[in-house]
Amino acid sequence: MKTIPVRHIASAQRLHNGAGRFSVRDLEQVLNGKDLVHDLHRHDFYFVLAVHSGSGIHEIDFVQYPVQSNAVFILRPGQVHRLELTADTTGFLLEFDLSFYQPKNTIAEHRWKKASGKNYCEIEDARFKKLHVILANIFDEYFLKQEGYIEAIKANLDLFFLEYIRQSKNQNSIVKSESGYIQERFEEFVRLLETNIAGMKNVSDYADLLSLSPYQLNSIVKTSVGKTVSDLINDQIILEAKRHLIATPAQVKEVADQLGYEDPSYFIRFFKKHTGQSPEAFRKNFK
């Protein structure tokens, strides 16, 4: 079986003074008048695709999104994706690792985590123009490399992610402190879920980590996405299982073990219950 390759930021993109790795490219230059087709792969870095105009398909973690004008895609390390762009697509492509950009300011960090948790967003024209100006500034700073350009890029990234999350809010309304608290705790839960799913599958485990009761955590999740904590735990297990099945040649029993299941037959029944097919069938039928 062909495994999913992991792509890295080229060593040539490592910046001076141990600042990590970062690159920004103009899509017109990347495409060079030709359609782009990238088969399923994953990255060990953050990936931001901002499409000013154009079309195509972007599949992220087995969910397909349309590539269209004023669309922004943000991928976290480890997510699997497949990308097709038409030759006339314009915009910018950014790649960076946490050594380069990881806000330390509490407010900026919260915005960054919120933004990076949203894979796809179609943005209204006027707001996208503001994002495009910020990206153009980043592009100029990166290639001119004048004094302080690294700090300038990071400052512009702060602005970019601020504008990115603004689009989902009604700018004429004031967010209540209660709803802000709920959103913050929900996002914290999601981050814990992504990093602990192999060893933690009980609602009470995550409630304990968050210093909440299971009832409180369920209420927060229900308010945020209309699902129960158990629903999201099951969704994450299935997503991780699919990633392992497609990205590695591991046998099903090995995938079960990696996800914390001692009994492969139980894992197989669980997977089939939630997807309608066995792990082997999913692997075989995936295209």
Q: How many residues does the chain have?
A: 287
pTM, to two decimals:
0.77
Which of 134, 139, 131, 193 has its CA nearest to residue 23? 139
What the block records as the tokens of 260 is 């914390």
Mean pLDDT of 95-120: 86
**How many angstroms separate the CA atoms of 230 and 118, rounded?**
21
d(CA 37, CA 150): 31
Q: Which of 73, 50, 74 is nearest to 134 (CA)?
A: 50
- State whether residue 12 is helix, strand or coil: helix
pLDDT-based confidence at residue 60 (cuts at 50, 70, 90): very high
Which residue spans of the chain are classified as CATH 2.60.120.280? 6-166
Residue 192 CB contacts under 8 Å (≥ 6 apart), including other chains: 206, 209, 210
105 contact partners, CB below 8 Å, separation of at least 6:
none
CB of 60 closer than 8 Å to CB of 120: yes
pLDDT at 132 over 90: yes
Cβ–Cβ contacts within 10 Å for residue 101, how many?
Answer: 20
What pLDDT score was predicted for residue 184? 79
pLDDT for the residue 246: 84
Q: What percent of the chain has pLDDT over 90?
A: 63
Is residue 75 predicted with pLDDT exceeding 70? yes
CATH number, span 185-285: 1.10.10.60
CATH 1.10.10.60 domain locations along the chain = 185-285
User: Which residues 6+ apart lie within 8 Å of 132 measured at CB?
Assistant: 50, 52, 91, 92
Q: Is CATH 3.40.50.620 the classification given to domain 6-166?
A: no
Q: What number is the average pLDDT over the span 132-159?
A: 95
Closest to 6 in 3D by CA, of 96, 118, 103, 81: 81
Confidence tier at 173 by pLDDT (50, 70, 90) = very low
What integer pLDDT is reported at residue 114 of this predicted model? 82
Q: Helix, strand, coil proportions of the chain in percent (round to 5)?
A: 50, 20, 30
